[in-house]
Structure 1
Amino acid sequence: MKVQVLVSKWCPVCPQAEKVWKEASEKVPMELEVLDIAEREGREIVSNLRIKTVPAIVVDGSLKTVGAQPLGDVLKMLGAS
């Protein structure tokens, strides 16, 4: 499973989302990438998926959710609860 967390330097919620997803990656096998939407790869994903807000979570190429979720909700989303 490939999980991409799209973030921005100006986003006040993004560091929290990044922390939760990094913690989840220690509990559930996944390939985790944190991408800044100001960088080329992040911009391409935002454009292709028409993402309007960050943090945005992309799982295996599909937008899964936006915003920061508690660890328990993230684990449920990944089927690990």
Structure 2
Amino acid sequence: MLFNYMTIARDYLSARIKNEKGITAIEYAIIGVAMSSALYYIFNDGNFLETLRQAWATMGNKITSSGNILGSSGA
């Protein structure tokens, strides 16, 4: 009788260990939290958007200030 209970318990635990659906869900949750934290830092605290705006403004200013260095198109 005790052997039957041990066999049932072993089979139950064996089935639970092989079932990794819950573990995979936990892994995805951890990855999701890490990614959302990184994105929050990049877009809010990391000043990513302000740096991007400054880069576009600098590029636009340099293009505008370069004038007509290529000459007229002759059209």
Give the TM-score, by structure 2 length. Answer: 0.23
> For the pair shown, which has the larger CA radius of gyration, 1 or 2?
2
Select the structure with the greater relative contact order (CA < 8 A; seq sep ≥ 6): 1
**Bigger share in strand:** 1
